[in-house]
Chain A
Amino acid sequence: MLGELAFSLAGGAVAALVGPSGCGKTTLLRIIAGLDPDFDGSVALPAHGTLGMVFQEPRLLPWRTVEQNVRLAAPQASDASVDALFRTLGLAAHRDHYPGELSLGLARRVALARAFAVEPDLLLLDEPFVSLDAALAGRLRDELAELVSRRPVTTLLVTHDVDEAIGLADRLLLLSASPARVLAEVPVARPRAARSAEELAAVRAEVARRLKQANL
């Protein structure tokens, strides 16, 4: 599924893996997360190796409340930090709700809160906004950007959506179709908040050019 593939992440930076559907992005994340022990290669995690992960589906425990879901994953999180997360993500009113009572957008926010609550050394995001409508996905993306800039965390975002990657990442890694390898690296130099529409358009054009070069 995966070809020869090597990359490293700078501490505190956000990298995005962008590639066509079925190129093995999720498999790659599972390998990094230690969920797929059956592969050839090596993964070096940051010192403590605390992982936070947002899966393609929220993957909450339906029989535990929103707050319990977060606290079970992050038992050491302080009340203040959990409160702050819930406030940023607009979950304060839903602490005692069960996941079955939440919309998909809210459930994804809970999954984000859970991943941030563990104060991860490495944050893995697997298409965290897939199957949300564009407006909601955009709002969640902004909230995620705010969380990441408030407490810089080394993040690997996997997506097939170039705009999503440009909106969040400091660096884009373009992957080929399966067997996946890194086609090109596209840096997004400016800090997230200062990016203008023209600069984003320039990056988008650059990505398109690289993909065309590789015949995708």
Chain B
Amino acid sequence: MGARLVSLVLLLAAWYVGSQVAGERLLPEPQAVAAAIVHEARSGALAFNLGATLARVAVAFAIAMALGSVIGLIMGRSRLADRLGDPWLIVLLNLPALVIIVLAYIWAGLTETAAIAAVALNKLPIATVTVREGARSLDRSLDDMAQVFRMGPWTRLRHVILPQLAPYLAAAARSGLSLVWKIVLIVELLGRPNGVGFEIGVAFQLFDVTRILAYALAFIAVMLAIETFLVQPLERHVARWRPKPA
């Protein structure tokens, strides 16, 4: 904890020194950015834009994780599905995020649906590949056990398969969350009238670095809170059966 704090203070110090060297226009001082955050928060714009972005992150993340888990599980369990789906995955994995976003906007218009679909489609192949890896490493002997004892499909999924996939789902969720929010900002910059990405786009046109940093830092703080208060407790809960390291 102490080392983390020292590291954070060093970062702030470097920022301050940098702002003195580069000048206020290129890199404003930390306290100026803090003041901008407070100002945006007072006007209500910060909460509104953070809310809009978070909602997009949540919906796109949920869609990508749900679809990716189902497809990954099927591909990991069935050789045929794996052969059929693999080329699609490779295409999607190598399609630049920007291409998917631009095409989605051209084909479906500058709509919320297009924005969320584009983000989800960017995240989908990575979630699928991660869960497929997990599905391939499922323990056959537990499958046999479940079959002998005639466990139903729901019991098998919930008590035999999902606990084995949990580490893979956690990895997919964690890498996915950071990827999704970055892509959401681009989607907002290119075709949405609100959200953190939109605000940063406006600030870019005005070369307003203070505002760019204010929104970026506020959003990082929110994602950090989600990681600390949502993702980590969830991981601890899922891993509660593991023998504690001595």
Asked if A63 contacts B163 (CB within 8 A), the reply is yes
Interface string of B121-142 (1 = CB under 8 A from A): 0000000000000000000011
Of A98, A100, A101, A118, which one neighbours B149 at CB under 8 angstroms? A118
Alpha-carbon gap, A123 to B160, bound state (A): 22
**A10 close to B (CB within 8 Å):** no
**Interface residues in A186-202 (C-beta closer than 8 Å to B):** none
Alpha-carbon gap, A34 to B146, bound state (A): 12
A56's nearest neighbour on chain B, judged by CB, is B141
Alpha-carbon gap, A68 to B163, bound state (A): 14
Q: What residues of chain A lie closer than 8 Å to B148, measured between beta carbons?
A: 33-35, 51, 53, 124
**Interface residues in A12-60 (C-beta closer than 8 Å to B):** 30, 33-35, 50-53, 55, 57, 59
Q: What residues of chain A lie closer than 8 Å to B147, measured between beta carbons?
A: 34-35
**A61 close to B (CB within 8 Å):** yes
Asked if A100 contacts B242 (CB within 8 A), the reply is yes
Asked if B159 contacts A61 (CB within 8 A), the reply is yes
Asked if A55 contacts B241 (CB within 8 A), the reply is no
Main SS of the interface on chain A? loop
**B243 close to A (CB within 8 Å):** yes
Of A53, A64, A74, which one neighbours B241 at CB under 8 angstroms? A64
**Contact-residue size bin, chain A (C-beta under 8 Å from the other chain):** 20 to 34
Alpha-carbon gap, A72 to B159, bound state (A): 8
If A35-B144, A100-B242 touch, does A61 touch B160 (CB 8 Å cutoff)? yes
Alpha-carbon gap, A55 to B139, bound state (A): 14
Alpha-carbon gap, A68 to B158, bound state (A): 13
**A62 close to B (CB within 8 Å):** yes
Alpha-carbon gap, A72 to B163, bound state (A): 14
A118's nearest neighbour on chain B, judged by CB, is B149
The listed residue with most A CB atoms (<10 A of its CB), out of B142, B149, B243, is: B149
Interface string of B104-118 (1 = CB under 8 A from A): 000000000000000
Of B155, B159, B243, which one neighbours A101 at CB under 8 angstroms? B243
Alpha-carbon gap, A50 to B243, bound state (A): 33
Q: What residues of chain A lie closer than 8 Å to B151, measured between beta carbons?
A: 72-73
Q: What residues of chain B lie closer than 8 Å to A61, measured between beta carbons?
A: 142, 159-160, 163
Q: What residues of chain A lie closer than 8 Å to B163, measured between beta carbons?
A: 61, 63-64
Alpha-carbon gap, A82 to B34, bound state (A): 62
Shortest distance between the CB of A29 and any CB in chain B (Å): 10
**Contact-residue size bin, chain B (C-beta under 8 Å from the other chain):** 10 to 19
**A171 close to B (CB within 8 Å):** no
Q: What residues of chain B lie closer than 8 Å to A74, measured between beta carbons?
A: 149
Alpha-carbon gap, A74 to B9, bound state (A): 58
**A108 close to B (CB within 8 Å):** no
**A109 close to B (CB within 8 Å):** no
Asked if B142 contacts A57 (CB within 8 A), the reply is no
Asked if B155 contacts A72 (CB within 8 A), the reply is yes
B144's nearest neighbour on chain A, judged by CB, is A35
**B145 close to A (CB within 8 Å):** yes
The listed residue with most B CB atoms (<10 A of its CB), out of A50, A73, A124, is: A73
B166's nearest neighbour on chain A, judged by CB, is A63
**A114 close to B (CB within 8 Å):** yes
Asked if A55 contacts B242 (CB within 8 A), the reply is no
**Interface residues in A74-112 (C-beta closer than 8 Å to B):** 74-75, 98, 100-101
The listed residue with most A CB atoms (<10 A of its CB), out of B141, B142, B148, B151, is: B148
Alpha-carbon gap, A115 to B160, bound state (A): 17
Q: What residues of chain B lie closer than 8 Å to A100, measured between beta carbons?
A: 241-243
A-B contacts besides A34-B148, A59-B144, A75-B155, 10 pairs, CB < 8 Å? A34-B147, A53-B148, A61-B159, A61-B160, A64-B241, A72-B151, A72-B159, A73-B149, A101-B243, A124-B148
Binding site for A on B (CB under 8 A): 141-142, 144-145, 147-151, 155, 159-160, 163, 241-243
Binding site for B on A (CB under 8 A): 30, 33-35, 50-53, 55, 57, 59, 61-64, 68, 72-75, 98, 100-101, 114, 118, 124
> What are the 6 closest A-B residue pairs judged by CB atoms, nearest first?
A73-B149, A63-B163, A63-B241, A100-B243, A59-B145, A98-B241
